[in-house]
Each structure stands twice: as structure tokens, then as C-alpha cells.
A and B are shown apart, each in its own frame.
Chain A
Amino acid sequence: MVAEKSIVTQQLMESLQKQSSKIAFIPDNEIVSAIRQLEEKGVPNNKHEDYKYCNIESYIRREFKTLSQSFTTIETKDLAAFKLDDAVNLVVLNGHYSADLSEKIIAKGITVKALNEIDTSEKALIATQAKSASDSLIALNTVFCGNGLFFKVDKNNAIPMPVHIIYLNNNTAPSLSNSRSFIHMEANAELTLVESFINIGTDKLFSNYVSEKLLDENAKLTCYTFQNEGSLSYSVHTNQVKINKYANYSNSTFTLSGELVRNNHNIELADSNCEAHLNGLFITKGTQLVDNHTLIDHQMPNCESNELYKGIADGKSIGVFNGKIFVRKDAQKTNAYQSSKNILMSDDATINTKPQLEIYADDVKCSHGTSTGKIDTDALFYLKARGIGEENARKLLLQAFAQELIDKIEVDSLKERVLNLFEKTL
């Protein structure tokens, strides 16, 4: 049975087909599968279980009367504000990797190139993690993505300096961008990677990101996701990670702005003795919706996963944490922990938090906990009783709440940036 394709999806496909050229770096069968997914399922709406509270179709219908791909460039000097001075800065502009805007990497053992420059063996990796059939937004990206970034650390190389990918969009009319990247960590490779998501356009933007990450045996990838996309931005971020034996992946997401931010972290612990750490901090106000979906799939024994998400919601905003953990029948001796803590700053703000554990192995340690409440009035009174004004007292308490996550940042310039923006946003 073919479900009726929505008008939104149809319009989207028509408008994009005119503008996009053939994408050579994605295998044909995956493109076919992506088109089929879009034809049959369409852009997710509230009828899709995973998007029940994040109706992408209705956002597009409501916020975008037209959707074009009207983008312009950025001057090198204007990039300075988004760079990190203790990292090597790479730029993906309007969905396309820009070698001109990126800094040169002199360290050995790193491959950086545009997706249309990858060789046959590299091409064989693309779309092995992010499957169009699992999510229409992956499909949309697969069919229409720009000439994104391929990044690889060769085996046995530990890269001493953090690498910072700036995904920057500069649109001049209501637009859609589809950015794609592939990060490959070969065996025993080590890297600290910061991914910043910034929009400087003058009109509304729907951005649909897909990043595939593959960690070979004993690789270590420490990631930070910095989202400060602004109030004209509606974005979906799919982060598709496969972790092999003894490998260690961690990511901390800091969401500081964006009218709609949907994060899909899909983490596959594909072999034994590997680790995944997922952290997140978001602060929302106004009518923002920040929706964090994490899926941690324990497939093999002796693996560990940890999750800590914290949210602060003010105004009429909505914050979501939906954390799914699968422990498959072969995944004995799994340790999986999950915690979600939230503060509601107003009566009209909403936090939805939903842990989902599906455990098919019998010798595992899994726990989850969640709490949502208002700011601690006793603590507030205590601070005020020492002469600290209401506003500063609240700030001190919210900073204290967030500090645990900000302290996880080991890239100093990023830590400072997050801290400053966090304080300004409070």
C-alpha cells in the first residue's frame, strides 16, 4: 500500500529537483531507496511515532510559504567570530564544503575533502550508517544534499589539536539546506571534534543535517555539538554513529538557540567492549521547541553507555528528551545509564521526558532517572537573604545546574563561548 504523499513533500521534491544536480557520491541504490521513502512516507508529521511531538511537516507548512535555495557566501573576515582559536577551523557553507574558507591542516594522517572527491573505497562507506528507509529526513538529505565534507583520521594517529567544523548557512530567502558529512576514525585513531551550527541568513531557514560517523576498532572520538542557529532557524540534525570494538565515542550537545531544533542521535554499539557517552544541555524560551531524541543500540557484550541531559525551559517553550536504549540479546554485561534533569522557569513552559528501555539480555545493569521541577525556592531565598538580587540569584542557580555539563568541555575557547552565551541567554 502506498500512503498518500503529502502536499508539503510533493512541493518540496518538485522545487528541489529543479535545482539540484546529480549526486555522484551516494550509491544509486540508496538514492532509489530514499526516493521511495519520500514517496511513501513523506516528511514526518505527528502520525510518525518518532515525530509525534515534533511535526516537521506542519512546521514547514506553517513557517515556509515558499522554499527556495537562495544562498550567498561569507567573507573570510566575517568568519572570525565563529572560529575557535585553539582548533583547526573547517567550513561547510550552505551545505557545501569550502576548501577556500577552511584552514589548512598540517597534521599528518588526516584526509579532508569534499564528498564529490571521494574515491571508490570511501564511497563504499557513504550511507552505510544513515539509512533512508529509517527516516524520511535522512531520505530527503540523501536525495538533495550538497557537496559536503568527508573527514578521515588514518589508523594509529592521535590528532593533538581539536578540529572544528563550522556548518554555516547564509540564505537570502526562505530556504532549505541539506548538509551532509562523513567522519571516519580508523583503528586506534583519536580526535576531538567540535561541530558548530550557525545561520547568518536574513530569512527563515530549514536545515536538514546528516552526519555519519564510523569508529573502527579502538578509535576515540570526542565530539561537541554547538547549536546557536538563531530565531529564524528550523533544523533537524541526524547524527548516525557506529562504534566498533574497544572504541569510545562521546558527544556533548549545547543548544542555545533555534526556533526548532530536533536532534536525532542514533548510536550503534556494534561490537564488544565499546563505550558511548551522550550529554546535552539546552535552554529554551519564547516559542522554541528543542527535541532531543537519542537511540543507543547495545548489540554486543561488555559495552557501556552513559547519558546526561539537562534542560531549562522558559516562556512558552517546549523541551523534549526522548532516550531509547536497546539491549539486544547478545549484549550481556551491558552497563547503560541515563539521566534527564529539567527546570521549568515559567508556568507555560513544557518539558517532555521519556526514557525507553528495551532489554533482551538478562545480565545487564541499566538505570534511568528523570526529574523536572521549578527552581529551588529555598535556595533562591537563601541567596536573596544575603543581598543577592532576584535576577542574579536565579542566574547563579541555573549556572550551578548547568555547570556539570559545561565542565565537560575540554576545548577552552568553546567552553568560554558556551559559558558566555549561556549567561547571556539566562
Chain B
Amino acid sequence: MISIKNLHASIGEKEILRGINLEVKAGEVHAIMGPNGSGKSTLSSVLAGREDYDVTEGEVIFNGKNLLDLSTEDRAREGLFLAFQYPIEIPGVSNINFLRTALNEIRTYHGQEEMAAKDFLALVKEKQKLVELDVKLTNRSVNEGFSGGEKKRNEIFQMAMLNPKLAILDETDSGLDIDALRIVAQGVNALKSKDNATILITHYQRLLDYIVPDFVHILYQGRIVKSGGKELALELEAKGYDDIKAQFENSES
């Protein structure tokens, strides 16, 4: 699905990712954990194509294509989906219009016809149930005036609508109460299949009680310093990040 090799990225003079290696196959769920400032969000931003970052070294192959050569929109059209940590409010652009435009651009990219309005609305109806998103919210402007939980559910709703191959969930659990977390996790689990893959980026183990990962990686100072099964997350929860910090503290920084 995606193969990240020796990925280095900087913002301005500051190098944030310092050689990431990660291989995710179809059907897998990977969790990337790490303390604040370890580079988790940078990794998701770089993969999605945010221009604030310079990739200085390394390569990313996504479904046989060189991901870093693609524009942000082409990455999305190829099936990469980033659920934002802080979803953006866009007053004046309705959720529905936004999603229809996105879905049809993706379809056009793959040489498919645009979806008929009736089919589109049926799909909206089906998918919004998945994340228990209020019908009223789908008709409102994108994320405008949504609560934190509604914004996160809207991200998963969009993911359900666009049906990506690889979903990167950037701290989707942050700011969620336990009910919202359950709903979001249910949505993600329902969308899981043998053909797609998920990368969960999280600070806490809590989310992993609901979405069980196949692999857990610990990111620290821009590198994956430790990988393991789901038990690694539990270990981290018990011991905290201090152990990791002591073990891998980089003399350069």
C-alpha cells in the first residue's frame, strides 16, 4: 500500500523528520505514537502534501506511484485520506457541495462518470448514519460552528464518502469524550477492509482500545525508534514516554 523510505522533512531550517521508514500493507492498521513534538503531525502533513514542509531526502511509494511527485489533490484522488487533527471551518461552502465536488473530481480522475444527484444523496444518507452525523450538519457550511466532536465525526463521514485506500487519522481522538470516541471508532472499524489500510496517529493508548492496531510504532525525534504489536501501546501506557526519551535521547538536539 505505502512504503516510506528514509523520509526527511524540514520546516525552514529545522529538520523534523529524520529518516522515517514504514511499510503498510493492505488490510493493516498501524498506530504511530509518540510524545509531543516527535513529528507525528509533520508526518501526516508531509504525506498529504502540505507545502509548508520541505522533503529533503527519501521516497514514498503509494500504490506503485511516487507519492511525493503528486499534488495534494492527486494524492487524495489516488486514495490517500487525511483526517485532520484540526478540521478547517469554511464558511459559505456547504458540506454537501464540497463533498459532491470532491467525489466527482475523484471519479473524473479515474475516468468514471460523475455521480447522479440521486445516487449521491442516497450515499450521503447511508454514510452519515455510520457516524451518527445530524442531517442538519451535512447541509451546513463545512465545519462552521461544529463542536469538536462534530468536526471529528465529519472527518470520518467524509472518509466514508470518499472511500480511500489509505486513511491517516491524525489525533482523531484528541478532544473527544468517550461517546464521541466510540462513534468515531465504530465508523473507522466499519470502513476497514482487506483492501484498505489505516494509520492512526495518536498520543494516547485510549483510541487503541476501540480500534485495535496490527502494529504500533513509536516516533521520537523524527524517527521510528521502536515497533511492535499492540502490546507495545500498553507498555507505553504503563511506563510513559520517559523510558523512550531516556533510551533514545539524541545528543544532536
**Residues of chain A having any CB pair with chain B under 8 Å:** 376, 378-379, 381-390, 392-393, 396-397, 399-401, 403-404
Some 23 contacts from A to B, beta carbons below 8 A apart, are A376-B88, A379-B90, A381-B72, A382-B84, A383-B90, A384-B73, A385-B75, A385-B82, A386-B76, A386-B162, A387-B102, A387-B103, A387-B106, A387-B109, A388-B98, A388-B102, A388-B105, A390-B73, A392-B105, A393-B73, A396-B93, A399-B92, A400-B93
CA gap between A393 and B49 in the complex, in Å:
15
CB-CB contacts below 8 Å: B126-172 with A: 141-142, 158, 162
Given contacts A381-B50, A392-B105, A396-B98, whether A386 and B158 have CB atoms under 8 Å apart is: yes
- Decide: A388 and B73 in contact? CB cutoff 8 A: yes
- Decide: B101 and A388 in contact? CB cutoff 8 A: yes
Question: B35 at the A/B interface (Cβ < 8 Å)?
Answer: no
- Decide: B88 and A379 in contact? CB cutoff 8 A: yes
A-B CB proximity, top 3 nearest:
A400-B92, A387-B76, A386-B102
CA gap between A376 and B51 in the complex, in Å:
14
CA gap between A292 and B50 in the complex, in Å:
37
Q: Which residue of A lies closest to B106 (CB)?
A: A387
- Decide: A387 and B73 in contact? CB cutoff 8 A: yes
Question: B91 at the A/B interface (Cβ < 8 Å)?
Answer: yes
- Decide: B105 and A389 in contact? CB cutoff 8 A: yes
B49, B98, B158 pick with most chain A CB within 10 angstroms: B98
Residues of chain B within 8 A of A381, CB atoms compared: 50-51, 72, 88
CA gap between A15 and B162 in the complex, in Å:
66
Shortest Cβ gap from A204 to chain B (Å): 37
Shortest Cβ gap from B17 to chain A (Å): 18
Question: B71 at the A/B interface (Cβ < 8 Å)?
Answer: yes
CA gap between A30 and B85 in the complex, in Å:
67
Shortest Cβ gap from A308 to chain B (Å): 14
Given contacts A381-B50, A385-B49, A388-B105, whether A400 and B91 have CB atoms under 8 Å apart is: yes
Residues of chain B within 8 A of A390, CB atoms compared: 71, 73
- Decide: B76 and A384 in contact? CB cutoff 8 A: yes
Residues of chain A within 8 A of B105, CB atoms compared: 387-389, 392
Number of residue pairs across A and B with beta carbons under 8 Å? 75
- Decide: B90 and A382 in contact? CB cutoff 8 A: yes
- Decide: B72 and A384 in contact? CB cutoff 8 A: yes
Residues of chain A within 8 A of B106, CB atoms compared: 387
CA gap between A403 and B103 in the complex, in Å:
23
Shortest Cβ gap from B11 to chain A (Å): 15
Residues of chain A within 8 A of B48, CB atoms compared: 385
A387, A389, A393, A401 pick with most chain B CB within 10 angstroms: A387
Residues of chain A within 8 A of B71, CB atoms compared: 384, 390
CA gap between A384 and B48 in the complex, in Å:
9
CA gap between A378 and B48 in the complex, in Å:
13
Shortest Cβ gap from B120 to chain A (Å): 15
Q: Which residue of A lies closest to B76 (CB)?
A: A387
- Decide: A382 and B88 in contact? CB cutoff 8 A: yes
Question: B77 at the A/B interface (Cβ < 8 Å)?
Answer: yes
Given contacts A392-B101, A404-B92, whether A382 and B87 have CB atoms under 8 Å apart is: yes
CA gap between A382 and B97 in the complex, in Å:
14
A383, A393, A403 pick with most chain B CB within 10 angstroms: A383
Q: Which residue of B lies closest to A382 (CB)?
A: B88
Residues of chain A within 8 A of B98, CB atoms compared: 383, 386, 388, 396
**Residues of chain B having any CB pair with chain A under 8 Å:** 48-51, 71-73, 75-77, 81-82, 84, 87-88, 90-93, 97-99, 101-103, 105-106, 109, 141-142, 158, 162
Residues of chain A within 8 A of B92, CB atoms compared: 399-401, 403-404
Q: Which residue of B lies closest to A402 (CB)?
A: B92
Shortest Cβ gap from B19 to chain A (Å): 25
Residues of chain B within 8 A of A396, CB atoms compared: 93, 97-98, 101
Residues of chain A within 8 A of B141, CB atoms compared: 400
Residues of chain A within 8 A of B102, CB atoms compared: 383, 386-388
Residues of chain A within 8 A of B158, CB atoms compared: 386
Residues of chain B within 8 A of A382, CB atoms compared: 84, 87-88, 90, 142
CA gap between A171 and B142 in the complex, in Å:
47
Shortest Cβ gap from B118 to chain A (Å): 22
Partner of A385, one of B72, B101, B142: B72
CA gap between A404 and B109 in the complex, in Å:
32
CA gap between A48 and B92 in the complex, in Å:
40
Residues of chain B within 8 A of A401, CB atoms compared: 92
Residues of chain B within 8 A of A399, CB atoms compared: 92-93
CA gap between A214 and B152 in the complex, in Å:
54
Residues of chain B within 8 A of A400, CB atoms compared: 90-93, 141
Q: Which residue of A lies closest to B103 (CB)?
A: A387
CA gap between A68 and B164 in the complex, in Å:
64
Shortest Cβ gap from A210 to chain B (Å): 36
CA gap between A67 and B109 in the complex, in Å:
53
Q: Which residue of A lies closest to B88 (CB)?
A: A382
CA gap between A386 and B161 in the complex, in Å:
10
Residues of chain B within 8 A of A378, CB atoms compared: 88
Residues of chain A within 8 A of B90, CB atoms compared: 376, 379, 382-383, 397, 400
CA gap between A393 and B91 in the complex, in Å:
14
Shortest Cβ gap from A311 to chain B (Å): 16
A381, A392, A399 pick with most chain B CB within 10 angstroms: A381
CA gap between A119 and B91 in the complex, in Å:
52
CA gap between A397 and B89 in the complex, in Å:
11
- Decide: A387 and B88 in contact? CB cutoff 8 A: no
CA gap between A393 and B71 in the complex, in Å:
13
B87, B92, B158, B162 pick with most chain A CB within 10 angstroms: B92
Residues of chain B within 8 A of A384, CB atoms compared: 49, 71-73, 76
Q: Which residue of B lies closest to A396 (CB)?
A: B93
Residues of chain A within 8 A of B101, CB atoms compared: 388, 392, 396
Residues of chain A within 8 A of B93, CB atoms compared: 383, 396-397, 399-400
CA gap between A364 and B152 in the complex, in Å:
44
Residues of chain B within 8 A of A392, CB atoms compared: 101, 105
Contacts A384-B73, A387-B76 supplied; 11 other A-B pairs, CB < 8 Å: A381-B72, A382-B142, A385-B49, A385-B81, A387-B105, A388-B98, A388-B105, A393-B73, A396-B97, A397-B90, A401-B92
